[in-house]
Chains A and B, each alone.
Chain A
Amino acid sequence: MNSMMKPIHFKPLNGVRIVVWSAFALILVLLPAIFNSSFAMTLLCFTGIAVIACLSYNMLLGQTGMLSFGHAVYTGLGSFVAVHAMNQIVAGWYLPMWLVPLVGGFAGLFFGVLFGYVTTRKSGTPFAMITLGIGELVFAAALMFPWFFGGEAGINSNRTAGKEMWVNFGLSFGPQIQVYYLIAVYVFFCTVAMYAFTLTPLGRIANAVRDNPERAEFVGYDTRLVRFLVLMASSFFAGIAGGLSSLNIEAANAELLHAIRSGSYLLFVFLGGAIFFFGPILGAVLLVFSLFMLSEFTKAWQLYIGILFLIMVIYAPGGFSSLIMLNLRRVKYGEWRKMRWPYTWMFLFGLIALWGFASIVEMAYQIQVAAGSGSKLTVMTIPLDAASTTSWVIAVIVLIAGGVAFEYWRRKFAKVWSDGEERIADAIKKAEAAIV
C-alpha cells in the first residue's frame, strides 16, 4: 500500500476551501435544473447516494489502507433498518421521514461495531478475506430470516407517510424532486463531515496506520483500535447512504447486501481514485454512469470496465483523480505544452485501437448473445457484419496497427513525462530551499 497511496503534494486550491464548498453546494442545488426528466432525476438521486457510499468506503481503503470486500453489509443493513423505521412511521411512530437516513446511519454504526470487532483484528490481506466471508454470511442470512429481510421480495414501504407532521414543513417526499434535495442536503453535510474527519487526529493516525503500521504501533498507537474506530465511522456513513436509498426507492431487499455490490464499491472507488478526497465522488459518478448509461450502449460493458480496471491498477494506481491532479500540476509548472502532441497522438491511436478491440468484442457478443437478431451491428457508427470474415480481418488489422502506433507514442510520452517529473521535483526542491 505504501508507495501506491503515497500522497502527491499539490494543493492548488489551498486557502480557498470556502469557495470550493460553496461551489459544491451550488452544483447540488442547480443540477435538477439541468437534468429535469424523471429518469435523470432518479439517476441524480442514485449518484448522490453512491457519493456518500463511495466516500465512506474510501475512509477504509484510501485513508486507512483497509481493503474491504464487504462494504455492502453496512449500506445494506442500514437500508433494512431504515425501511423498518419507515414502516413504523406508516404505523404511527412520530418520526419525521427526513430523519430516516440517520436511523440507517446508526444501524450501520451498530453493525460496524458488531462485525468490526471481529474483522479489524486483522489488517491487509487477511482483513480483505474476512470481510468477504462476513459479506457472504450476512447475505446468506438475509434469505434465511424473512421476518426481517422480507425474503426474496424484500420489504416495501411508503415515504409519504407522516407528511402531516409539522416537523416536515409541508414536505410529503412524494415528488422525486423533494427526495433529491433531501439527498443533496445529506450529501453536502456527509461530505463536509467526512472531509473534516480526515483533518482530525484520528484521521491523521489512520494515515499513519496505512503508511507504516509498525511505526504507528511503536509510537504508542493501538493500530487495531484505530482500524476499529475508522470502520465504525465509515459504517455510520455507509448506513446513511443505505437509509437514503430506502427513502429513495421505498424498498429494501437482499440484493443490497450482495458481494457484487461490495465489489462495485471497491472497483469504482479505485477507478475514481483513493488518494484524493474527491476521487470517490468521481468514482460514484462513474458507477452510476456505467450501470445505467454504458450498459445501454453495449452488452459487454462489464468486460470493458474490467479491462479498464486492470489497466488502471498497473499504470495509474491513483485512479482518474490522480490523473487529473498530476496533469494540473503539469499545467502549474508549465510542463503541459511539451505533452500536447504525445497526448494527441496517443489519444488518436488509442481510439483507433479501441475501435478495433471493441469491434472484435462486439462481434463476438453478437454471435454469442444476440444470435438470431442478425449478424449486423455498428461499432462507433461504423457498420460491421459479425458473419463476414472481412469485418473480422479489418477489426484485427485496425487493432494491431492502432496498438503499435499507440505503443510507439506511449513510449515517447513516458519519456517526456518522466523528464517533466524530474524538472518538477527540482523546482519543488528549489522552492523549499528558498523558504528555508
Chain B
Amino acid sequence: MSMLNGLSYGLLLFMLSAGLTLIFSMMGVLNFAHASFYMIGAYFAYQLSSWSNYWVGFLIAPILVALLGGLFERYMLRKTHKFGHVAELLLTFGLSFVILELVQLVWGRTSVDYAIPTAMQAPLFKLYDSTFQTYRGFMMLVALLMLVSLYLLLKKTRIGLVIQAALTHPDTTEALGHNVPRVFAYVFAGGCGLAALAGVIGGNAFITEPGMAQSVGAIIFVVVVVGGMGSLGGALIASILIGLMQTFAVGLDWSILGGAKSLGVEITSATPGYSLWSLKLSQIAPILPYLLLVLMLIVRPKGIMGTRDE
C-alpha cells in the first residue's frame, strides 16, 4: 500500500517536473513559474468543472494553460532572450508573483471546492484494512500515458526530431527552413500544458488553494537537480525515488537516539544536541528531498542521469 501511495505521488511529481525538464533541456530556461502553471491548471479545471463536469475541465484546462504559456513565451520571454538565461529566470520569477496575485484576485485567498468526481471516490481495492482510491489509480494511469506519449512524440515523430534538432543545432535547423522560435514557443506551451494537467489531477486529490504553487515549487526543482539537469529519464527516477522515500520514511520511527540505544549508547535529554539525535525519520520525511539534494551535490554533482557537470 505504501508502495502504491509512494508511486502515485512520485508519478504526479514526474508529471510536474517533466514539463520543467523539457523546457529546460530545450531552451535552457528554468521556468520558475512552472508550479504557478500547475496552480492555474487546477483552478481552471475547478472553474470548468463547476460550469459543466469534471471531464470538460480535464480536457480543456491544460489546453487553455498551454495557450497562456505560449503567449507568455511569445510576447514576454522572447524579449528577454537576448539578456541571457538569468534574465529569463527572473522574468518567470516575476510571473509567479503576478500569477499568485491574480489567482487570489479571481478565486479568493482560501481554498476552492474542487472535488474528485463521485464515481472515482469509491475504493478501487482493499488491502488489509486500508483502501486504495480509484482516483489514485486514475492519476497513475494518466501519468503513465503521458510518459509513453511524450516518449513517442520526442523519439518517433517528425516534430520530435525537429525539436531535438532545434535544441542542439538551432542555426542549422533554422537554415533548413524550420522556425526555431516557433518551435520554442510550442515547447514552452507544451511544458506548461503538462504542468496544468498535473494541476488538474492533483488539485482535487490534494487541495486547490493559492499556496499550492509554492508548496510544490521547491520540490520539483529538487527533482530536476537530483535527476540531472535536463534529463527526462533522470527526472522520472528522481520523482519516484522522492515519492517512495517520503512515503516510507513516514512509516519509520527510526532516530539516531534509537540507533545509539541498540548499540548500547544511552543518549538522554542531557546529552548535547539531544533534540537532533531524538528526531525521528518520520518527522523529517517531508524535508528528506532537500537533504537528498545536498547529499547528491556532494557525491555526484551532475545528478543521477546528468551528463554534464555544469
Direct touching of A and B (C-beta under 8 Å): yes
Q: Is the CB of A133 within 8 A of B221?
A: yes
Give the residue of A3, A128, A310, A368 whose beta carbon is less than 8 angstroms from that of B89: A128
Q: Is the CB of B290 within 8 A of A133?
A: yes
In the assembly, what is the distance between CA of A302 and CA of B95, in Å? 12
Segment at the interface with A among B60-68, B98-106, B158-166, B253-261: B98-106
Q: Is the CB of B95 within 8 A of A310?
A: yes
A-side contacts of B86, CB under 8 Å: 1, 4, 65, 67, 124-125, 128
In the complex, A314 has a CB within 8 A of chain B? yes
Q: Is the CB of B105 within 8 A of A4?
A: no
A-side contacts of B24, CB under 8 Å: 125
Q: Is the CB of B85 within 8 A of A124?
A: yes
B-side contacts of A309, CB under 8 Å: 90, 94, 97
Q: Is the CB of A144 within 8 A of B284?
A: yes
In the complex, A307 has a CB within 8 A of chain B? yes
Q: Is the CB of B290 within 8 A of A140?
A: yes
B-side contacts of A122, CB under 8 Å: 297, 301, 310
In the complex, B218 has a CB within 8 A of chain A? yes
B-side contacts of A48, CB under 8 Å: none
Q: Is the CB of B293 within 8 A of A133?
A: yes
Given the contacts A263-B93, A302-B101, A125 and B30 also touching, CB distance less than 8 Å: yes
Measured CB to CB, the closest approach of chain A to B209, in angstroms, equals 15
Q: Is the CB of A134 within 8 A of B221?
A: no
B-side contacts of A293, CB under 8 Å: none
In the complex, A23 has a CB within 8 A of chain B? no
Q: Is the CB of B105 within 8 A of A136?
A: no
In the complex, A153 has a CB within 8 A of chain B? no
In the complex, B137 has a CB within 8 A of chain A? no
In the complex, A300 has a CB within 8 A of chain B? yes
A-side contacts of B85, CB under 8 Å: 1, 124-125
Q: Is the CB of A134 within 8 A of B283?
A: no
8 A Cβ contacts from B256-305 to A: 275-276, 279, 283-284, 286-287, 289-291, 293-294, 297-298, 301
Instruction: Tell me the total A-B contact number using a CB cutoff of 8 A.
Output: 137
In the complex, A22 has a CB within 8 A of chain B? no
Give the residue of B93, B109, B291 whose beta carbon is less than 8 angstroms from that of A137: B291
In the assembly, what is the distance between CA of A406 and CA of B100, in Å? 27
Write the B67-86 contact mask toward A (1 if CB under 8 angstroms, else 0): 00000000010011011111
Q: Is the CB of B293 within 8 A of A3?
A: no
Chain A, Cβ-Cβ closest to B86: A1
In the assembly, what is the distance between CA of A123 and CA of B309, in Å? 10
Segment at the interface with A among B138-146, B174-182, B187-195, B222-230: B222-230
In the complex, B108 has a CB within 8 A of chain A? yes
Q: Is the CB of B90 within 8 A of A129?
A: no
In the assembly, what is the distance between CA of A402 and CA of B22, in Å? 40
A-side contacts of B287, CB under 8 Å: 136-137, 140-141
Write the A62-80 contact mask toward B (1 if CB under 8 angstroms, else 0): 0001010000000000000
Q: Is the CB of B294 within 8 A of A313?
A: no
8 A Cβ contacts from A337-387 to B: 361, 364-365, 368-369
Q: Is the CB of A303 within 8 A of B101?
A: yes
In the assembly, what is the distance between CA of A28 and CA of B108, in Å? 43
In the complex, A145 has a CB within 8 A of chain B? yes
Give the residue of A128, A300, A305 whose beta carbon is less than 8 angstroms from that of B97: A305
Q: Is the CB of B98 within 8 A of A306?
A: yes
In the assembly, what is the distance between CA of A307 and CA of B101, in Å? 10
8 A Cβ contacts from A308-348 to B: 309-310, 313-314, 317
In the complex, B91 has a CB within 8 A of chain A? yes
In the complex, A204 has a CB within 8 A of chain B? no
A-side contacts of B279, CB under 8 Å: 144
In the complex, B87 has a CB within 8 A of chain A? yes
Chain B, Cβ-Cβ closest to A309: B94
8 A Cβ contacts from B223-256 to A: 224-225, 229
Q: Is the CB of B102 within 8 A of A313?
A: no
8 A Cβ contacts from A137-196 to B: 137, 140-141, 144-147
Q: Is the CB of A317 within 8 A of B94?
A: no
In the assembly, what is the distance between CA of A307 and CA of B287, in Å? 32
Q: Is the CB of B90 within 8 A of A137?
A: no
Chain B, Cβ-Cβ closest to A66: B86
In the complex, A270 has a CB within 8 A of chain B? yes
In the assembly, what is the distance between CA of A207 and CA of B93, in Å? 24
A-side contacts of B289, CB under 8 Å: 133
B-side contacts of A313, CB under 8 Å: 80, 83, 87, 90-91, 94
Write the B43-56 contact mask toward A (1 if CB under 8 angstroms, else 0): 00000000000000
- The listed residue with most B CB atoms (<10 A of its CB), out of A3, A133, A309, A314, is A133
Q: Is the CB of A314 within 8 A of B101?
A: no
In the assembly, what is the distance between CA of A132 and CA of B289, in Å? 12
In the complex, A215 has a CB within 8 A of chain B? no
Measured CB to CB, the closest approach of chain A to B48, in angstroms, equals 20
B-side contacts of A202, CB under 8 Å: none
Chain B, Cβ-Cβ closest to A371: B108
- Report which A residues bind B (CB closer than 8 A): 1-4, 65, 67, 118-119, 121-126, 128-130, 132-137, 140-141, 144-147, 259, 263, 266-267, 270, 300, 302-303, 305-307, 309-310, 313-314, 317, 361, 364-365, 368-369
Instruction: List 9 other contacts, CB 8 Å, given A134-B294, A306-B94.
Output: A2-B84, A128-B86, A135-B218, A267-B97, A303-B102, A306-B95, A306-B101, A309-B90, A317-B80
